[in-house]
Structure 1
Amino acid sequence: MAGSVHKEGSTWYYMLELGKDQQGKRKRKKKRGFKTKREALKELAEAETALNKGVYVEDDQLTLGEYLQFWLKHYAKINTAERTYEGYCSMIHAHIIPALGHFKLSKLTPFHLQSYYAEKLKDGRYDGKGGLSARTVKHHHRLISKALKDAVKWQKIIRNVAEVVDPPKPKKVEINPLSVNEIKRLLQVAYQSTQYYPIIFTAIHTGMRRGELLGLCWKDVDLSNGIIRVRQTLQMIVGTGIIFKEPKSGKGRTVTMTTALINMLQNHKIQQNKSKLAFGDIYQDYGLVFTQGNGKYIQPSELTKAFKKMVNEARVTKVRFHDLRHTHATLLLQQNIHAKVVSERLGHSTIGITLDTYSHVLPNMQKEAAQKFDFLLDEMSKKA
């Protein structure tokens, strides 16, 4: 089967031979609108290749918006975590469909996507106060690329145009660890004015994520051996509520506690047991380490809000709760704790992530290593 290219007025079209139908009649596909003969020949060649491989798609009326709705329901809903699915829905309904949803799936081009990314960087926020970050737009690109990759696999389109588009390059997130003196001031404020002192203390001493701390159960805390087993994370899903899932890395880990942390948690457990007695039957016991006074879950957003107030009151570097994790890692690396150990405590999937994230600590460590090497050579020369 062969196709052909023809001129029609000022434009070109191709005619693709599709064989014969059940009645023995010839089937053809005609596609118009090419500005040059070369463009028509190129797309004809792609169509012929797809036809020969058995992946040619005849129906080109499906819009990107219609396809993404299908993709959400039949792929994302089934194959991704609830929070991931929630994020996909938000990106698709609030951003991608309004801007690109009207395009036919088969007519979507790299130019359309590149223009979309540029527009979102310039003016993509809900409140109209500027553009989205490069990191956020790159998330859009990854979603679109994955959805189009599935469209190719399901024989809805011939190629994934997102593969030839360059998404924006996010700037590296600046790490803002607290100093030892700042940690002391923050803990003092947390101890005096809030119920969150135990969770702030634990975050600093372990580097655990917010959700991991909020989902930590007493059954996973071995005070006798000084070990915490990180097995789940607590998340708040809109429309669903509180859920528990595996840690971010997809697997649990073990974190050895400091002596100070063991002592604090022992006292915290005593106080929690007193609360249970005080509340009696209305105490909601989920077995969690960190709870409200009546045993209920601590909402992630409430902890974040309270932490912001603590930071302001303590007059320390403006940090997020997640920066307590960065603080823990930075202090360990500054004490020459091996990056592999730090990586294991943080639950990073590879040591490379740890080294890349905390590269700001390495220059000082390299300077110290060079000084130690000089000292070693001097000692060796004295003995020679």
Structure 2
Amino acid sequence: MGILVECPNCKIRSSLSRRVCKCGNKVRKAGSRNYWIEYYLKGKRTRERIGRSKSAAENRLREVQTATAEDRNIQKNKNAVITIGALRDWYLDLPEVKQKRSFKAMAKCIEIVSDHLGEKKYASQISPADIQSFQRNRLSTNTIWGRPAKPATVNRNVANFKAMFNRALDYGIIEINPVIRVKQLEENNVRERLLSEEEFEVLYNHCSAQIKGPVLIAYYLPMRQAEILNLVWGEIDLKNQFIRLGGQRTKNKTGRAIPFNQRIFNYLISLPRPVHGGYVFEQRWWNRREFVKAVNMAGLGEFTFHDLRHCAINNLRLAGNDHFVIKQASGHKTDSAFQRYN
């Protein structure tokens, strides 16, 4: 019985005492070496890949030695028999995961990390260094939007990937979470871009008819994009000039009432309203291309739809509303989150 180290160049496995591999590579200084353990099972030599953690290899070897001394069956390392692809498929098929409103975003995050690491890699082969390599790659490689991903985006990718391992650990699918100690990147996602009334009117005039309504509501009311696009007539109280969202419609699952001004009132009553209610907007997916086109034509630089939420909160503040009224309308539960917008 013993621990073997695998050369990252030629994949030859040798004892820990060897400093230089047969291929000439200095194994002891190699940063991406994998550890294996070797033992005999019923007279047959068996080798088991552990991964890049030497301490994990030592712990696993002690388990095998103890099981052999006590004449018990040797349980195989669970991390060494399940691939990243299989783990992902299992996790995304869990009922409690599939019912989440952010399921599609979670699946996309895990897919991005899995594609970088390799679906056929075993869980025992994953190390914090692999995740750090992914972080560096995402921060330096252009996305489909023509720029590298921001730290907040990369953190969401890694957080969902770690959550998958944590859930597998809870269910006994794996024995250890190899990426639990990976630290998040420092984020600076505080947005300070606000539009004046004149700038907004320029933007609004350049918007196509398809997106004018959501843009107008987003500028005056602190609602999220999905809350606006899925707005139904039953949630609109024209008499008292309120939009009332139930808990199932908000991000924090807490219902809230949002007052609207005369301009929003005039816009809403100008829309055709079905007799039996229904959705306010026919199209319930956001046409980002049209919005970016309008932003560029208005000369607003890197202005995003979510920045309109900042504008709405600022507009409520300028209208004389106090801190608590604005928080209630925006749905922020904590002061720390609210301060990023205020």
Q: TM-score, normalised by structure 2?
A: 0.71
Report the Cα offset of residue 342 of structure 1. Answer: 1.6
Residue 260 of structure 2 is aligned with which of 229, 240, 257? 257
Aligned to 1:99: 117
**Alignment of 1:78 onto 2:84:** no
Mapped contact 1:114–1:167 kept (Cα < 8 A) = no
Which one-letter code corresponds to 1:287 in the other structure?
G
Instruction: Work out the number of aligned pairs and report it.
Output: 308
Task: Select the structure that is richer in helix.
Answer: 1
**SS in structure 2 of the partner of residue 138 of structure 1:** helix
CA contact (8 A) 1:186 1:314 kept: yes
Larger Rg: 1
Bigger drift between 112-121 and 56-65 goes to 56-65
Q: Percent identity?
A: 22
- 1:145 CA displacement: 0.6
Aligned equivalents of 2:14 and 2:311: distance in 1? 68
Structure 1: which 5+ runs fail to align?
19-24, 50-55, 233-244, 277-283, 292-296, 362-384
**Match for residue 33 of structure 2?**
none
- Structure 1 residues 223 and 46 mapped into 2: Cα distance closer, same or farther (>3 Å)? farther
1:187–1:201 Cα contact (<8 Å) kept? yes
Distance 1:206-1:103 versus aligned 2 partners, 3 A rule: same
Describe the shift of the 1:66–1:299 C-alpha distance in structure 2 as closer, same or farther (beyond 3 A): same
> Structure 2: which 5+ runs fail to align?
5-12, 18-35, 67-74
The answer as to whether partners of 2:3 and 2:61 remain within 8 angstroms in 1 is: no
Write the distance in 1 (CA, Å) between the matches of 2:211 and 2:88: 42
- Within a 5 Å distance, the mapping from 1:231-380 to structure 2 comes to 231=246, 246-266=249-269, 268-269=270-271, 272=272, 287-289=278-280, 291=281, 297-302=282-287, 304-316=288-300, 319-334=303-318, 337-355=321-339, 357-358=340-341
TM-score scaled by length of structure 1: 0.65
How many angstroms apart in 1 are the aligned matches of 2:302 and 2:148?
Answer: 23
The 1:328–1:125 alpha-carbon spacing in structure 2 relative to 1, beyond 3 Å, is closer
CA distance in structure 1 between the partners assigned to 2:225 and 2:53 by the alignment? 57
Are positions 1:210 and 2:225 aligned together?
A: yes
**Aligned equivalents of 2:331, 2:227: Cα separation in 1:** 11
Q: Counterpart amino acid of 1:300?
A: W
Distance 1:345 1:249 in 2: 13
1:157 is aligned, of 171, 174, 182, to: 174
Which residue pairs with 1:61 in the alignment? 81
- Return the alpha-carbon distance in structure 2 between the equivalents of residues 6 and 325 of structure 1: 57
1:142 corresponds in structure 2 to 159
In structure 2, distance between residues paired with 1:155 and 1:254: 44
* Shift in alpha-carbon separation, 1:189–1:104, aligned structure 2, 3 A: closer
Measure the CA separation in 1 of the matches of 2:300 and 2:279.
Answer: 30
